[in-house]
Amino acid sequence: MSCAICEERKEKRFCPAVHGKICPQCCGEQREVTLDCPSDCPYLQQSREHAKEHNGQFSEQEREALFPEVEINEQFLYEREELILGLSFALAKSARADRSLADRDLIAAVSSLAKSYQTLVNSSLIYEPAIANVAQQNIVRDIAREVETMVREFREAEQQQIGHTRLRDSEVLKALVFLLRMGLGRTSGRPKSRAFVDFLFAQFPEKHSAIVGPEAAGSRIVIP
């Protein structure tokens, strides 16, 4: 029997995305590119395990996209763990609301927000980076709106608990950059990759609370 995709090479493995058997080459080339691979596919899981060995190995261009000038230390992660968890929850909520979202959508939204906050912190100006693709722009805007809602709710919670808001825009910037680095460190970079999405889903079950208290937060932040 021949591969269900190329119809040339011999089929050797079952592909749940096409509900048929395909060859290893098509599996490797089309995985998360043209194929909507389900998260429980064993070959996808194997590729993700292999990718973990290369986490943190970015090209010079990729490193520039990680806001290298923004320093994030362990003290910040400890003091603002609830903020990072809250923003992570907002990303997971967006992905659950629209199951077509992939890693690149979440990463583009976080990157856009980080650029806006960087401009706000450095010049007090509100700046929204332009995105060429109109459809992508709408997706990014919707995700960004969910994240901004979380930031507002976090500040409101601080106001109720301590009588004033301590959260600074510079801290929001750091939290966003942390999530951006985490996302880029987990995704395969392929168009349909959902490794970062699946990671967020694992951290936040469907009925998880948006604002996480210290006693519930534990230590779920995973340093990329």
Query: What is the four-CA torsion angle of 97, 98, 102, 108, rounded to 10 degrees?
Result: -80
Residue 56 above 60 pLDDT?
A: no
Q: Is residue 110 part of a domain?
A: yes
**What would the two tokens of residue 74 be?**
């362990």
**Are residues 137 and 213 part of one domain?**
yes
**Are residues 26 and 78 part of one domain?**
no
**Are residues 127 and 144 part of one domain?**
yes
The total domain count for the chain is 2
**Are residues 196 and 173 part of one domain?**
yes
Q: Is residue 224 part of a domain?
A: no
**Are residues 71 and 169 part of one domain?**
yes
Best-predicted range by mean pLDDT (130-144, 182-196, 202-216): 182-196
Cα(178)–Cα(86) distance, integer angstroms = 13
Instruction: Give tens-digit pLDDT for 13-32.
Output: 999 999 999 999 999 999 99
**Are residues 76 and 47 part of one domain?**
no
Q: Which uninterrupted H or E stretch holds 215? A: helix 214-217
User: Helix, strand, coil % (nearest 5) of the chain?
Assistant: 55, 5, 40
**Are residues 71 and 2 part of one domain?**
no
Q: Is residue 69 part of a domain?
A: yes
Q: Is residue 75 part of a domain?
A: yes
**Are residues 171 and 74 part of one domain?**
yes
**Are residues 150 and 99 part of one domain?**
yes
Chosen domain end from 31, 53, 75:
53
**Are residues 204 and 110 part of one domain?**
yes
Average pLDDT over residues 132-151: 82
Q: Is residue 177 part of a domain?
A: yes
Q: Is residue 45 part of a domain?
A: yes
Domain that holds residue 90: 60-217
**Are residues 106 and 72 part of one domain?**
yes
Using an 8 Å Cβ cutoff, are 122 and 94 in contact? no
- Average model confidence (pLDDT) across the chain: 84
DSSP 8: S
- Candidates 28, 29, 22, 27; CA nearest to 3 is 22
| CA-CA-CA-CA torsion sign (158, 205, 72, 109) | negative
Q: Say how many C-beta atoms besides its own lie within 10 A of residue 89's C-beta.
A: 21
Residue 52 above 80 pLDDT?
A: no
List beta partners, residue 31. Answer: 35
Instruction: Give tens-digit pLDDT for 144-172.
Output: 999 999 999 999 988 888 887 889 999 99
CA 141 distance to own-chain centroid: 15
- Band of the pLDDT at 51, cuts 50, 70, 90? confident
Residue 224 above 50 pLDDT?
A: no
What are the E-state strand segments in the chain? 13-15, 20-22
Q: Is residue 222 part of a domain?
A: no
**Are residues 146 and 107 part of one domain?**
yes
- Band of the pLDDT at 40, cuts 50, 70, 90? very high
